[in-house]
Amino acid sequence: MGMNSLAVLGNCVSQLGLGGFPSKSFGCLSGSSGSTLAFHGSVKKSFEPKKEQQQIVSQEDDHNVSKRLHKDLSFFPRSITDSVLSNNPKDDPNIRIAFKGLPGCYSEDAALKMYPKCQSVPCDRFEDTFKAVELWLADKAVLPIENSAGGSIYWNYDLLLCHRLHIVGEVQLAANLCLLALPGIREEQLRRVLSHHQALASSDAFLSKLGTIQEDVDDTAGAAQYVALEGLRDAGAIASARAAAMYGLNILAERIQDDAENITRFLVLAREPIIPKLDKAYKTSIVFTLHEGPGILFKALAVFALREINLIKIESRPQIKQPVRVVDDSNMGKAKYFDYLFYIDFEASMAEPRAQSALEQLQQELTTFLRVLGCYAMDTTL
């Protein structure tokens, strides 16, 4: 699969007009095999039959030669075609999607929204979803990145930088938080409610009126499973309606969240990047660090404004390995500041010349590090 993807990128770079970047512009775009998959490069490696294969072919008649070449070439990378691009993997029943949590969690809901026929690969931790894809135990991973009530999930931003997976899509999911309990149990019988801390916080007003003890667990579906398996008659769980059906619980109340529109944005991650096009609205996600100097962040943002590129999101995170930058200050001597990584989402496809020139200027003039995390179609549905 890795070899096929390399061939696809190499054949399509010239069509996308991405050949003008310096070789180091997007040096962090690499695949699981370690080969560079940058949009700006081209694949020059050729594939030739081994000497043993050539000797065997030369000894056979024309009919057998044709059959053998057909067999051997079937393993070679294929150039991308319109039919390949038009295939819709969302309908593939064999695609495996990794997510954190048990079956019935909201992350699985997001996976099913994107890939309705997918096979679920539940994981214990967010980092395990990355590893599942890297080890070919899953084809893609679905990762929550921000919530309209709770804000950004910073740990997952850090994981994006620590791993080499690429963002190939996004899913916006409007959550329906439900209060679940064993069959026959009424709200007034509940003494405690179990759920993920974010679900508990998002339902604070409802739970305050209910007057129950709140218990934080690792996963919404895990809370539902625990109540069901342990037969807890004094405990309820906040989880999805699908989790209720899955674990045999009754729904006592629906849409108990404080904000009616509680929306979580998920990223879809894969081993290889997709080929950006111009047929729909695309979003590009990048991360970079900046040189030291007054107004440097303003200059970086101006790179996009001057090209009329809409910035959708900007997030800053201190660098983990080198969180402090020491600089010279003419008045006070040495000064120490936090050294930040800036994550930016902007509304443009990497197939557009304006996006290419913006990142080229950003890389050459303003940044000490720049990585394209992915270019992908925007999700405009709820």
Q: Which residues are part of the catalytic machinery?
A: 264, 266
Q: What is the largest CA-CA distance in the chain?
A: 85
Q: What share of the chain is helix, strand, coil (3-state, %, to 5)?
A: 35, 30, 35
Compute the distance between CA of residue 16 and CA of residue 44 in angstroms, rounded to an integer.
Answer: 17
- Which tokens in the block code for residue 372? 């394209």
In degrees to the nearest 10, what's the CA dihedral of 144, 117, 133, 381? -30
Q: Tally Cβ neighbours within 10 Å of residue 49.
A: 15
* Residue range 80-115, pLDDT digits in tens: 333 333 344 677 888 999 999 999 999 999 999 999
- pLDDT at 319 (0 to 100): 82
Select from 88, 81, 82, 283 the least CA-distant residue to 168.
283
How deeply is 247 buried, as exposed, middle or buried, from its count of CB atoms within 10 A (0-12, 13-18, 19+)? buried
- Residues 181 and 188 sit within 8 Å (Cβ to Cβ): no
Handedness of CA 269, 151, 350, 372 (dihedral sign): negative
- Residue 268, sorted as left (phi over 0), alpha (psi -120 to 50) or beta, turns out to be beta
- In the chain, the amino acid numbered 344 is I
* Residue range 303-350, pLDDT digits in tens: 999 999 999 999 998 887 665 555 555 555 554 556 789 999 999 999
- Residues 370 and 359 sit within 8 Å (Cβ to Cβ): yes
Which helix (H) or strand (E) is 309 found in, with range?
A: none
- Which tokens in the block code for residue 168? 């190939």
- pLDDT at 251 (0 to 100): 98
- pLDDT at 32 (0 to 100): 36
CA distances, 315 to each of 94, 234, 272, 288, 360 (Å): 35, 42, 24, 11, 21
- pLDDT at 323 (0 to 100): 52
Which residues of the chain are modeled with pLDDT < 70? Answer: 1-89, 321-338
